[in-house]
Amino acid sequence: MNSVNLHSYRKVYASGAPLRGALWYFINLAFFQTAFPFPVFLKTFLLRLFGASVGKRTVLKPRISIKYPWLLKLGHDVWVGEKVWIDNLAEVNIGDNVCISQGAYLMTGNHNYKKSSFDLIIAPVSVEDGVWVGAKAVICPGVTLRSHSVITAASVVTKDTVAFTVYQGNPARPVRERIIE
């Protein structure tokens, strides 16, 4: 029987220029991961400076983490709650009027447990308009959250959702239609 050999692991994603990545690491730590409530205009300026696309009226709470802003697109009226982690080794696209509640985790990378080298698998995440990602929900690589779907607190989404549908659980399953009055 074969076994895992982490020594044979190879990094398979491009994080960009090393200097830019190192500089972003410290900016992220100082201005985004901190509990100090820096003004949103400063945070959006820094994100844009590092290549992110950020729409109007964005809300970025304290203690969030963004891996690579140059792989991030935020639409208009996006709310990002405290302790959200956008672990974007691949592109993360977030539409308009999206709420990502505190502690949510959007990940674009995972490992292939079937390979002895434990290869990294990356895939983009897309969050369409009007979606609400509940507190401490996990969105896995390659997932598209369709328009106005709701992911309830602590749910784990491993597959694309259906528009205007509420999802709950681990793995997240559809539980009801979302009706907006």
Q: Is residue 1 part of a domain?
A: no
Pick the catalytic residue from 7, 76, 111, 148.
Answer: 111
What proportion of the chain, given as a percentage, has pLDDT over 90? 90
Instruction: Note the pTM of the prediction, 2 decimals.
Output: 0.95
Q: Residue 95's pLDDT is what? A: 98
Q: Is residue 7 part of a domain?
A: no
Asked whether the beta carbons of 156 and 140 are under 8 A apart, the reply is yes
User: What's the number of CA atoms in the CB half-sphere (13 Å) around residue 3?
Assistant: 2
Q: Is residue 45 part of a domain?
A: yes
- With cut-offs at 50, 70 and 90, classify the pLDDT of residue 10: confident
Answer yes or no: is pLDDT of 98 > 90: yes
Q: Is residue 42 part of a domain?
A: yes
> For the ranges 1-10, 87-96, 101-110, which has the lowest average pLDDT?
1-10
Q: Is residue 2 part of a domain?
A: no
Domains in the chain, number: 1
Q: What is the domain extent for residue 86?
A: 16-177
Answer yes or no: is pLDDT of 14 > 70: no
Domain harbouring 98, CATH code:
2.160.10.10
Q: Is residue 5 part of a domain?
A: no
Q: Residue 12's pLDDT is what? A: 67
d(CA 20, CA 50): 8
* Nearest alpha carbon to residue 138 among 107, 92, 160, 96: 107
The reply to whether 111 belongs to the active site is yes
Q: Is residue 4 part of a domain?
A: no
